[in-house]
Amino acid sequence: MSDENSPNQNFEEYDDSTDSSEEEFIRQQQEKQRLHLPRKSSTILIEKTKPAVLVEDKDIDVTEFDSDDEDLNASHISVYETTEKYNVAISQTRGRRNYNEDRTCAKSIDPSNALFGVFDGHNGHEAATFCRDNIKQIYQDQSFDLTKTFETLHNEVAKTTGAGCTATVVAIKGDEAFFANVGDSPAFVIKSDNSIEKMSYSHKTNDPSEEKMIVENGGVILNLFNTKRVNGQIMVTQSIGDKALHPPLSSTPSLYSIPLNEIKSIVLMSDGVTDALTDLEIRDVLVAESSVVTKAQTIRNIAYKGGSKDNICVVVIEL
């Protein structure tokens, strides 16, 4: 009998040659009776539609992994409409943890604008959940300014909870993708020549420039059990929330941009992936797999089988 925590699990793969409805896919899984992720997991697909159909504010929500719905023990597909520009899949699992603090979003604004994000919570899910639920409205209220959006998210979260989260966001505006992040949830693009480029900065205590910023803001870096932590508490140096640690933490994001005609796809993820996969291993999956669903699922599955002990979430956007 297989140990449920063994990394050598078999994982269900979505067969995109068959009916892609959620009901049909779940039926296939029940008939095959194959092993799935040992913790509750989900994959959601947004399909291209022709002609383009904008479904206003039809957000992806893959966070209800703590329910007792047995269907969520398997990878399953829900299909949504969006503009004809993007295919998007989100694949997520709480992995070896007994709770899930990762949150994701995929939000349509208008036919030329969309917003995607990963929020990895710590000390509770509340900050990540607030970001997921409110980032679209705040982004619009702040005239599509990502720096002001992050500052507002931080201030609003700090009013209601002591929890915190990373935030990694890509805003597609017209013919360009704009990235912003605090914390260590990475973003990458696959370029036209199949090379991979990182579009985020890892704000962590092992970076000398980040350590310098913490000290200048009045904090200290303590080395506890061979791990550097801000004021002896957390390893990220920038975040949303964490009101007891702001300052010395910062909520000002690192910013990047790239024209859409230079890239094939975008991927956002929590550090539960990069704990187990290198940048080149992520690139190899994104280049080798043909379906946006299997790209997201395969990255998640390899990260789990590779020994990741954290929650895992992956957002893949194909242009």
Write out pLDDT tens, residues 70-128. 333 333 333 333 445 678 888 888 888 878 889 988 888 887 888 999 999 998 899 99
Using the structure block, give the residue that is written with the tokens 């504010």.
57
Asked if 266 and 170 touch (Cβ cutoff 8 Å), the reply is yes
Rg (C-alpha) for the chain, rounded Å, is: 19
- The strand pairing partners of 273, in sequence order, are none
Report whether pLDDT(6) > 50: no
Residue 106: the pLDDT is: 86
CA distance 68 to 115: 30
Residue 96: the pLDDT is: 81
Share of the chain above pLDDT 70, in %: 73
Q: 3-state SS of the chain: helix, strand, coil percent to 5?
A: 30, 30, 40
SS3 276: coil
Residues 6+ apart with CB under 8 A from 160: 126, 130
Segment among 164-168, 223-227, 308-312 with least mean pLDDT:
223-227
Residue 46: the pLDDT is: 53
Residue 137: the pLDDT is: 94
Residue 26: the pLDDT is: 43
Report whether pLDDT(179) > 90: yes
Residue 91: the pLDDT is: 84
Segment 149-163, tens digit of pLDDT:
999 999 999 999 999
Domains and CATH numbers, the chain: 60-203+238-318 (3.60.40.10)
SS3 287: helix
Give me the chain's average pLDDT, please.
77
Segment 30-81, tens digit of pLDDT:
443 333 343 455 555 555 443 333 333 334 343 332 222 333 333 333 333 3
Segment 188-222, tens digit of pLDDT:
999 999 999 999 999 999 999 999 999 999 999 99
